[in-house]
């Protein structure tokens, strides 16, 4: 793990923007092809999964940075 670097602010903002835009587009797609109840459930599941990944990765990367 030698040479671990943190992303610059512009890269962090652009990657999160692309991720959120893709979640919004997936939500729109789900609502256009599924019945409303199922689409709502699938949307909540996808957004919660993405939020959980964000939380897990932020903790893991914070530990990696702290080791250095």
Q: How many helices (H) and strands (E) does the chain have?
A: 2, 0
Residue 4 falls inside a structural domain? no
What 3-state class would DSSP assign to 35? coil
Better-scored residue on pLDDT, 68 or 54: 54
Residue 19 falls inside a structural domain? yes
What is the per-residue pLDDT across 13-61, written as a single tens digit (0 to 9) for each? 898 899 999 999 999 999 999 999 999 999 999 999 999 999 998 898 8
pTM, entire model: 0.75
Residue 2 falls inside a structural domain? no
Residue 1 falls inside a structural domain? no
Gap between the Cα atoms of 41 and 31, Å rounded: 10
Residue 40 falls inside a structural domain? yes
Residues 6+ apart with CB under 8 A from 27: 43, 46, 47
Residue 3 falls inside a structural domain? no
**pLDDT score at 2:** 61
**pLDDT score at 1:** 52
- Asked if the model's pLDDT at residue 3 lies above 70, the reply is no
Residue 33 falls inside a structural domain? yes
Which domain covers residue 44, as residue numbers?
A: 9-67
Q: Number of structural domains, the chain?
A: 1
Residue 38 falls inside a structural domain? yes
């Amino acid at each position: 793990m030698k040479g671990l670097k943190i992303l610059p602010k512009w890269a962090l903002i652009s990657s999160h923007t692309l991720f959120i835009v893709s979640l919004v587009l997936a939500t729109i797609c789900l609502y256009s092809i599924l019945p409303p109840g199922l689409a709502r459930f699938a949307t909540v599941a996808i957004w919660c999964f993405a939020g959980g990944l964000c939380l897990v990765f932020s903790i893991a990367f914070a530990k990696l940075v702290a080791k250095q």
